[in-house]
Structure formats: structure tokens, C-alpha cells
Amino acid sequence: MKMNKKVVLKEIEESLRNGRSKKDIFEELSRTYPEEKRVVTILGTFPTYERKERYKLLNTALFSLVLLTGIEKMLSFFTLPVASIPFAWLLIFILPVLNVCVAVGVWKTRSYIYTLIGALALGGIAKVGQSGGGIVDMAFLGVMSILSFYISRKMFPDQGLFGPKKTPSGKYLMFQKVISSDNSKVDTGLKPRTKLSAVEIILLLISGIAFSVYALALFHSGIELISNF
């Protein structure tokens, strides 16, 4: 049977929400879809229910920061000399839409999106540094980068840079008994811990400060932009 990716995504999401293990989900899907590697790759982009709940607050913080960068892009393009830049108005709408797509990826907790955000944030820091930009921009991007890589590492311990990790024996790590997000028990995906670690509390505080400072800066920029019209 030919794979319908949209249907497979929905089946995986519902199964994980119901507490089923990735191994059970894979065995069921592989009976319907013979494309084993593709099924494993798609399955690997999802966190277990336990991990998704465990890092929900951090994920929401990152989601908010990504949306804020979309607003910043819209404001920055309105300050550019549109007449001298080809397709400038098109860019004004395309880039924020791309930001929304990235934000949706964060909201849906897809593994690939976190590495992408982290890499783009690091690239942004380098760009801001070369252009002599402000410390606020660099700090904001730094928080985004740290948060992205932290969530990626904690929420997807069985995912590598190029796909699902394997054990030395060649078996997929996601189908083995792995430790949970608090490093103390088997990751069953059924009983999420809600107590935050010291690192997570610090990350949430830093993210909140970064969001507040950056939002205030954007607010002032918006007021200035309106007054200049």
C-alpha cells in the first residue's frame, strides 16, 4: 500500500497520545506500509508523550520567541527603501509566513525544526556581530539557540543529526528501553513528570526576560515607524 504521509502522521500522533510505544506503532504501521526506513524516519520526528509533556513549557517559550522574530521581520522591512529593492513587498509577506511555518513546527514538536532554529540563530548572531548590531539582538538569538538545542537534546534523545540513532548492534534506539527525561526510569510515555529542574527554571526565566526586552524594543520601533508615516 502506498504511504499517505498525512494519514501516517495523524496515526502516529494519536497513538503516542494514547500512550503507545514507538515500537508498537512501528510494528503496526509496517504491516500496512512496507517502506520501513521512511516509517522509522517519520516516527523519529515525534517525541514520546512523556517527553512532550515534560518540556511543554520550554517549547511554548521557544514558540513565543519564534513568533516575535516574525513580527521583527515585518517591522524591519517597512523601514527599508522599498523602491530600490526588487520584490520587496513580496519579501515583507513571505518571510513572516516562513516564520509562522517554523512556529507551527515548534508547536507540533517536530524534531528537525529545533536544529534548524538553533543553526539559524547562531548564523544570525554571526551576522549581527559582523554588522555591528546591538547586544539585545545577539542576546535574543543566543537564548533562541540555547533553548532550541536543549529541547532537541532532551525531547529527542533517540534522534541524530541525520535521522534516528542506532545501537552498536544496528537496532534503532527509539525501539529500545531508553531512560526517561529525568534520567531515572524507563521512558514509558505514560506518566509525564511536571517538576522542573534548575536548568529548566533558569531557561524559562531567561526566555521570559528575552521576550520582554525584545518585545519592548519592537514596540518602540513600531511607535517610531507609525510616527514617521
d(Cα 191, Cα 193) in Å, to the nearest integer?
6
Answer yes or no: are the C-beta atoms of 181 and 172 closer than 8 Å.
Answer: no
First to last CA, the chain: 59
Report the share of the chain in percent with pLDDT over 70: 82
Q: What is the pTM of this model?
A: 0.82
Position 207 pLDDT exceeds 60: yes
What pLDDT, on the 0 to 100 scale, is given for residue 184?
37
Half-sphere exposure for 86 (CA within 13 Å, toward CB): 0
Q: Is 58 exposed, middle or buried (0-12, 13-18, 19+ CB in 10 A)?
A: buried
Q: What is the pLDDT of residues 8-23, one digit of tens each?
A: 889 999 999 888 888 8
Q: What is the pLDDT of residues 34-77, one digit of tens each?
A: 788 888 989 999 998 889 989 999 999 999 999 998 888 777 76
Burial 81-102 (b: 16+ CB within 10 A, else e): eeeeeeeeeeebeebbeebeeb
131 pLDDT higher than 90:
no
Q: Which three cell numbers stand for residue 60?
A: 511554548
Who has greater pLDDT, 4 or 78? Answer: 4
